[in-house]
Structure 1
Amino acid sequence: MNVIADHGVRFGRIAAMLPVKDMAKAHDFYTRVFGFSKVFENGNPVGFMILKRDEGELHLTLQPAHEAANFNVAHLMVDDANGLYTTCQRYGVRIIKRLQDKDYGLRAFVFEDPDGNRIDVGQRI
């Protein structure tokens, strides 16, 4: 296996880019259900938006012809998976995989946003 040296490069944050068909609907979902706040938007109509909550950041990109993948597109670490799972249930969010403890040390579940983007949620056990 070849190993590429890092040349002293330090990585900063990396954020998930989620394609959405309707920016207003996606904004409403992530702010209303999960408490994200919009910190940036670009375009008229808005074609790109950044949402932030605590250390979590989502980038939304308008893709009217988006077809959802059948796999997880982002992983979200939280400090209370039970609480977030309850919130998802309360708002009628589609749960793809129910809340359960995994053998790799996470309490986890997967939900789907209105555009079909699957988000894997985990909490260290």
Structure 2
Amino acid sequence: MPSEEFNSLRLGRIAAMLPVSDIERSYQVYKEVFGFEKVFENGDPVGFMILQKDEAELHLTLQKNHKAATFNVAHMLVSDATETYQRCQDHGLRIIKRLQDKNYGLRAFVFADPDGNRIDVGEPISPP
């Protein structure tokens, strides 16, 4: 239950920040697999990039010595998890958890990007 002092507090954009060892390679993967477009980049060489597609936003930060976490670092809702799963496979992304219909109302899977960042992907489905 939210406290009364936060009833007037409004939140804006929040985006996942993914550390990557090769920012251009990561951009190409997220562009080819999901259709993200670069809307901002900063640095020379580029060390930070903002990607957008529809309502989704993803931030990439260059971290040459990045060591991937062993847990999911972001969750992405999609309109078609089956197609997304196939696109991840077609682009050689490592599947951590295969596509399944979950009892909490999502068709979901987990993939790892080229830097090992684990992304949980889900599509809302009707409960059985």
Give the percent of matched residue pairs that are identical in Structure 1 and Structure 2: 66
TM-score, structure 2 as length reference: 0.92
Structure 1 residues 99 and 2: CA distance shift in structure 2, 3 A: closer
Distance 2:23 2:71 in 1: 22
Give 1:5 deviation, angstroms.
Answer: 2.8
Deviation per residue, 1:12-35 (Å, 9 max, x gap): 121000000111111111112221
Name stretches of at least 5 consecutive residues in structure 2 with no aligned partner. none
Distance 1:7 1:78 in 2: 30
Would you say 1:25 and 2:25 are equivalent positions? yes
Could you list the structure 1 runs, at least 4 aligned residues long, displaced by more than 4 angstroms after superposition: 1-4
Distance 2:102 2:108 in 1: 7
Amino acid at match of 2:29: F
Kindly report which structure 2 residues correspond to 1:1-125, keeping only aligned pairs within 5 A, or say none.
Answer: 3=3, 5-125=5-125
Give 1:93 deviation, angstroms.
Answer: 1.2
Distance 2:65 2:4 in 1: 37
Aligned residues: 125
RMSD of aligned C-alpha atoms? 1.5
TM-score, structure 1 as length reference: 0.94
Name stretches of at least 5 consecutive residues in structure 1 with no aligned partner. none
Distance 2:101 2:113 in 1: 22
Q: Secondary structure at the match of 1:5?
A: helix
